[in-house]
Amino acid sequence: MGRRIDFFIEFAKAPLKVGAIIPSSRYLRRRMLSSIPFNDDIIIVEYGPGNGVFTDYIASSLTPNSTFIVVENNPSFYKNLQEKYKSYPNIHIELGSVEDIKEILSSKGIEHADYVISGIPFLSLGTEFTHTVFSATKEILKPSSQFILFQYTRVLESILVQHFPRYQTSKVLINFPPAIVFKAQA
């Protein structure tokens, strides 16, 4: 319950950036992560982890040779995750904006990722921001890798298709609000 209250406090401070009043459900987490081969050594990036509802599962599922880069621009969410994962050599919690993902990865000597998972509320952050992030995401993904995101409406689909013409969608009703998961091929 404490984690939910912390999340709500951050929502109250910056509703457009946080974009949800409570963290995602475990049903949404399962759907978002179901296509990731956690037995393989992979490079995975998470955008907008919030209080870590996807982060914790990914961190506990990775092989020791996998690399996990997490980008959050809210200092409070960042601080909690940084504290939690500071002793994990293959998990990097970064304070910054996902618009700068190419620079963030190259500062770690990484050019390409196998998976990008996103919790970013693109709809409330605007069209220009969304184009910038989708374009940078396409550049950092290896061919045949996946960009996995959720939204509460289909409004951003017309932007997604310009960068990622091949994608599948599915609904997760047990979440507040109900969510649509987009799994896009790079």
Contacting positions for ligand SAM (CB under 6 A): 17-20, 23-24, 47-50, 53-54, 71-74, 77, 97-98, 119-121
CA distance 74 to 71: 9
| Nearest-approach distance from CB 143 to ligand SAM, in angstroms | 25
In three-state secondary structure terms, 78 is helix
| Nearest-approach distance from CB 52 to ligand SAM, in angstroms | 8
CA distance 152 to 121: 9
Q: Return the number of the residue (121 or 185) whose C-beta is nearest ligand SAM.
A: 121
Q: Return the number of the residue (18 or 186) whose C-beta is nearest ligand SAM.
A: 18
CA distance 178 to 68: 27
In three-state secondary structure terms, 116 is strand
Q: Return the number of the residue (39 or 127) whose C-beta is nearest ligand SAM.
A: 127
| Nearest-approach distance from CB 6 to ligand SAM, in angstroms | 11
Q: Return the number of the residue (72 or 114) whose C-beta is nearest ligand SAM.
A: 72
| Nearest-approach distance from CB 133 to ligand SAM, in angstroms | 8
Of 23, 90, 86, the residue nearest 51 (C-alpha): 23
| Nearest-approach distance from CB 164 to ligand SAM, in angstroms | 19
Q: Return the number of the residue (95 or 110) whose C-beta is nearest ligand SAM.
A: 95
Say which DSSP state 138 is in.
H
Of 109, 110, 182, 115, the residue nearest 144 (C-alpha): 115
